[in-house]
């Protein structure tokens, strides 16, 4: 019929922003857990992992977020970078001493050491084993396995000698 409406109808459109995601990064030692803590949305998807991770080597995890009220999804990924430092591997010497002597335990592989059951210089009365753990003071990583120093303590000989009596000019055999 060619008729036009006398009034306009108005459509209101709300444009909701997409969430902007941020995420933490960090450094751990092999065997430790790291928790990814994203921010900026209500729910998150961590690609390549979950919120708590334990990778054996350096790794990156990307995160996207969703605003569950508006349904908007982040347009850009946030990346959590994780550096995984190795744990020191400790070696230590073993040896044998005579009873009453000292033995020096010489560990290698870290910066600082804890010798369980003794100090660096020991003098045990019998065969003894000492376990050693080490820490890398730069990374804070600690050895996961103990190194063992085995010490053999040999008894000192017990000497007896004969006594006797001789006359002047005679020989005596000791």
Tell me phi and psi for residue 64, to 5 degrees.
Answer: -120, 155
- State residue 70's pLDDT score: 94
Tokens 């928790």 belong to which residue?
Answer: 35
- State residue 160's pLDDT score: 94
Q: Who contacts 59 (Cβ-Cβ below 8 Å, separation ≥6)?
A: 48, 49, 53, 81, 82, 84
Question: Which pTM value belongs to this model?
Answer: 0.74
Residues facing 28 on adjacent strands? 84
Residues facing 135 on adjacent strands? 112, 142
Check residue 121 and give left, alpha or beta (phi > 0: left; psi -120 to 50: alpha): beta
Please list the rounded mean pLDDT of every run of 10 residues in the chain (174 residues). Answer: 86 93 97 96 90 95 95 95 97 97 96 91 95 96 95 95 93 92
- State residue 16's pLDDT score: 93
């Amino acid at each position: 019929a060619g008729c036009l409406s006398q009034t306009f109808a108005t459509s209101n459109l709300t444009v909701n922003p997409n969430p902007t995601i941020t995420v933490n990064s960090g450094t751990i030692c092999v065997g430790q857990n790291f928790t990814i803590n994203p921010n900026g949305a209500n729910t998150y998807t961590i690609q390549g992992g979950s919120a708590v991770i334990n990778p054996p080597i350096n790794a990156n995890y990307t995160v996207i977020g969703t605003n569950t009220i508006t349904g908007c999804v982040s347009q850009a990924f946030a990346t959590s970078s994780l550096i995984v430092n190795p744990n020191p591997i400790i070696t230590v010497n073993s040896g044998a001493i005579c009873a009453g002597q000292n033995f020096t335990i010489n560990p290698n592989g870290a910066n600082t050491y804890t010798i369980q059951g003794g100090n660096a210089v020991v003098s045990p009365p019998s065969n003894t084993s000492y376990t050693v753990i080490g820490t890398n003071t730069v990374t804070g990583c600690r050895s996961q396995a103990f190194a063992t120093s085995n010490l053999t303590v040999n008894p000192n000989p017990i000497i007896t000698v004969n006594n006797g009596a001789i006359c002047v000019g005679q020989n005596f055999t000791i």
